[in-house]
Amino acid sequence: MNINIYYGGRGVIEDPTLYVLEKIEHVFSDLRINFTRYNLYDMKNTITTLPQTLKDADGVILAVSLEWLGIGGYMQQFLDACWLYGDKDKISSTYMFPVVVSTTSGEQEAALTLKNAWEILGGICSAGICTYVEDYIDFETNKEYLSIIEKAAENVYRVISHKTKGLPSSNKAIRRNHIKAALDLTPQESEQLSKYVSDDIYVKQQKEDIEQLATFFKGKLNAQGTDVEMEFIKPFTSHFTPQEGFSASYLFVITDKNRSLYIDVQNDSLTCKYENSDSYDVYAKLSHSVLDEIVHGRMTFQKAFMTGDMSAKGNFKTLRMLDMLFDFS
């Protein structure tokens, strides 16, 4: 029989959870049970690989210390890793015994959290130890408490050796019917992935590679965005034919792109940019495709207006000047 103990506390000397685990391990030694303790605070950089240690385990003890609220970050990281990288088929036949010791409050809620998490993972839950400790010295010197702890440890042996069955749980039904694994990987792929995730150098390199790719594609998108910005500005600028003594401003509303192209002509000076303006001599509305036809010389401003493809208001003499100012033919 192999039992893994995962301790999620901080490892401080006065932590009563360590006392409970010490007494449980003493009973296991007497019963010739193989056990291994994993102190998560010592393995915080490799927690993602710990689900692979479940391979040969018949049962696990999840031990947490409540110092203010909840099961603590280390245990939560371990359970997250089991969800992401653990072999769910193996977990389904593995017994879990919670050990929750609180020096504040909330031990019942924490024990329920561990139980729910393990059941959703598909595992089997059994009774463990859940207690509040006001004074750890009084707790450790109380012989009645010691007897309860030892009996709980003996119960671990009985439950696993007899393969005790439990009644159906809705948590397992939820997992089976509604919750999909985050990654559809084989146990071997999960193991390899968990090793990669725990490798700080590998993760750092991956982040750098992703950042480089993001920068590269952002540059591409920006370049494309610049082309879009210049889509009509370049043709107007390159085909501008100044008319001596003529000045006017035009606002083209590109209806299907929700954008406005503002053109201001002052003798031989041209301003062409995308912006809205309340100062104009001619206001025109047309679609992107119609304006594209015009700048490619397949249609004139006058023809677009006469056929109704472009609507306009303002000084129509100034409107007729467009085909002279910009000769796209």
Q: 35 and 140: one domain? A: yes
Kind and range of the H or E run holding 24: helix 16-30
pLDDT of residue 243: 92
At 13, which CATH number?
A: 3.40.50.360
Q: Give the integer Cα–Cα distance in Å for 91 and 83.
A: 10
Section 5-25 average pLDDT: 95
Outline where 129-199 has alpha helix (H).
Answer: 136-141, 143-161, 170-177, 187-198
Q: 163 and 244: one domain? A: no
Total domain count for the chain?
A: 3
pLDDT over 80 at 197, yes or no: no
300 φψ region: left (φ > 0), alpha (ψ -120 to 50), beta (else): beta
Q: 21 and 139: one domain? A: yes
Q: 43 and 173: one domain? A: yes
Backbone angles phi, psi at 273, to 5 degrees: -155, 160
Q: 38 and 186: one domain? A: yes
pLDDT over 80 at 212, yes or no: no
% of the chain with per-residue pLDDT over 70: 86
pLDDT of residue 193: 64
Which structural domain range is residue 223 located in? 200-229
Q: 150 and 219: one domain? A: no
Residue 322 confidence class, pLDDT cut points 50, 70, 90: very high
Q: 40 and 136: one domain? A: yes
Q: 72 and 221: one domain? A: no
Length of the chain, please? 329
Q: 177 and 63: one domain? A: yes
Section 66-74 average pLDDT: 91
Q: 300 and 253: one domain? A: yes
At 298, which CATH number?
A: 3.30.1050.10
Amino acid making up residue 8: G
